[in-house]
């Protein structure tokens, strides 16, 4: 496979770091984006490959433009965007959710994902050879909610619409877009699973988790398909988690 270039957002921790390391091990060159420089540099160190570290607030359109401008200037093109950065927010009953908290989750999970996808789309459409792939990080919550997760769940349903529209609008330009919906990968974000989380019936229960490396291998598979093939939606989850039959 010729050298390929991937932009990974939220690359300093969790799923983003795991995917970055998996791609680096497969020979990809990486552009690592996230709010905090220190974790990004640690991911770069662990990757042992060719990386660019670009601290980026993906809710800022100018910062996102600068991220992709730097990617193009350094590597000449972008073959993959893993649109991963996001937040769950604070679990809060609907009637108590502060509108500012709602906006913060929407700005990061939805608007940030759109801005990165838009910038990647522009670059992939213009580059030669034309085309590339965008993989959006959805969630099990793109299908069914958890209690007290209205902002997160609404944004992840919206990410599915983003994925579908990008898939359709990208067809003429060899831009493929897919989505990975992840359930209970073991990261800092899901650490509460081992202590117990609220269920649909109000109980607090411990939930099974899976190795985040299994997510990373799935993303790599999606990323390395030829552009004539696409995994439109993939669900990767801890086998015994309460999803099938949840509630």
Rounded CA-CA distance 132/5 in Å is 10
Is residue 14 within 8 Å of residue 212, measured between CB atoms? Answer: yes
Distance CA 37, CA 80 (A): 21
CA dihedral of residues 135, 189, 156, 65 (deg, nearest 10): -50
Q: Is the dihedral of CA 60, 137, 32, 118 positive or negative?
A: negative
The DSSP secondary structure of 87-145, one letter per residue, reads -------GGG--HHHHHHHHIIIIIHHHHHHHHHHHHHHHSSS--EEEEEE--GGGTSP
Contact 216, 18 (CB under 8 A): yes
Burial letters for 23-56: b for 16+ Cβ neighbours within 10 Å, e otherwise? bbeeebbbbbbbbeeebbebbbeebebbbbbbbb
Q: Which of 152, 190, 193, 215 is catalytic?
A: 152
The rounded distance, in Å, linking the Cα atoms of 231 and 222 is: 6
Please give the helix or strand (H or E) that residue 215 lies within, else none. Answer: helix 212-223
243: annotated active-site residue? no
Token pair belonging to 224: 């390395």
The residues carrying an active-site annotation are: 152
């Amino acid at each position: 496979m010729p050298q390929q270039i991937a932009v990974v957002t939220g690359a300093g921790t969790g799923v983003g770091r795991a995917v970055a390391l998996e791609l680096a091990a497969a020979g990809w060159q990486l552009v690592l984006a996230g709010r905090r420089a220190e974790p990004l540099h640690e991911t770069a160190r662990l990757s042992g490959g060719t990386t660019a570290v670009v601290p980026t607030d993906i809710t800022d359109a100018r910062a996102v433009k600068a991220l992709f401008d730097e990617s193009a200037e350094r590597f000449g093109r972008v073959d993959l965007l893993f649109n991963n950065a996001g937040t769950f927010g604070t679990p809060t009953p609907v009637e108590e959710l502060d509108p500012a908290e709602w906006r913060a989750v929407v700005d990061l999970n939805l608007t940030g994902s759109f801005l990165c996808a838009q910038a990647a789309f522009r670059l992939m459409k213009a580059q030669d050879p034309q085309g590339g792939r965008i993989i959006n990080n959805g969630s099990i919550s793109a299908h069914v909610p958890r209690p007290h997760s209205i902002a997160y769940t609404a944004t992840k349903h919206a990410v599915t619409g983003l994925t579908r529209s990008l898939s359709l609008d990208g067809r003429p330009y060899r831009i493929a877009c897919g989505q990975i919906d992840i359930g209970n990968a073991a990261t800092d974000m899901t650490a509460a699973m081992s202590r117990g989380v609220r269920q649909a019936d109000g109980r607090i229960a411990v939930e099974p988790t899976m190795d985040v490396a299994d997510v990373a291998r799935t993303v790599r598979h999606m990323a390395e398909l030829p552009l004539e093939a696409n995994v439109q939606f993939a669900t990767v989850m801890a086998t015994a988690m309460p999803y099938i039959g949840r509630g």
